[in-house]
Amino acid sequence: MMFNNQQMEARTRSLTVLQQRILSCRLCQEQGYIPVAHPIVSGRANDHILVIGQAPGHRSTANNKPFSGPGGRILQKWLELAGFPPGYLHEHTYLSSLTRCDPGKNSRGNGDRRPSPAEMALCRPYLEAELRIVQPRVVLLVGTMAIEAFFARGPLEKIIGRYEERDTMLFLPLPHPSGVSRWLNDPAHQQLLHNALAILADWREGYGL
């Protein structure tokens, strides 16, 4: 969508106010879901692509930068496979997630805890507000939780490679880019990922992303 200068300034102001509200949020801490709330935000009102992940991990929180770890490096590589330049993920992509605070380790201590439905419900209005203000052309749903929250439930092999247009936004599901996920070990699943990245490459050219 094209915006004139005045509209862009208004959107930038609204986004700054929203991001300040998110940064000062302590709801999950106050309600006992996490010991310390440390929300992080990253993105600009004129970004054309908005990424929705699960939740920041400890590394991203420590760096105050979403997708700071290996998952971010893999996601950047996927963007490059779709024709985007190096650095695009952090410099030109709005990075959002179902919750903005690190949920901590899971009970087995071998990975990140999945945010609970209650935590996601508390954080969801921020995500809806970001979508309303930024109005991205493309929304990348990264990982099962984001896919289930915005696209569909079901096995990834029936979902990756599909997309949906809703309210002028194109929703494209992607698998989680972490080395922990074994889904991508299957060559057939790699092919599905490449199909999804080919769709993204077409949009990059067609919409000048």
Sites of contact with ligand SF4 (CB under 6 A): 22, 25-29, 37, 39, 99-101, 119, 122-123
- Residue closer to ligand SF4 by CB (options 18, 193) is 18
Minimum distance, C-beta of residue 121 to ligand SF4, in the bound complex (Å): 9
CA–chain centroid gap for 104, Å, is 18
- Residue closer to ligand SF4 by CB (options 29, 46) is 29
67, exposed or middle or buried, with CB in 10 Å at 0-12, 13-18, 19+? buried
- Residue closer to ligand SF4 by CB (options 29, 63) is 29
Report the phi/psi class of residue 67: left, alpha or beta, with left for phi > 0 and alpha for psi in -120 to 50. Answer: left
Tokens of 39: 């929300």
Minimum distance, C-beta of residue 138 to ligand SF4, in the bound complex (Å): 23
Minimum distance, C-beta of residue 142 to ligand SF4, in the bound complex (Å): 17
Minimum distance, C-beta of residue 101 to ligand SF4, in the bound complex (Å): 3
- Residue closer to ligand SF4 by CB (options 66, 161) is 66
- Residue closer to ligand SF4 by CB (options 10, 25) is 25
d(CA 205, CA 138): 13
Minimum distance, C-beta of residue 113 to ligand SF4, in the bound complex (Å): 12
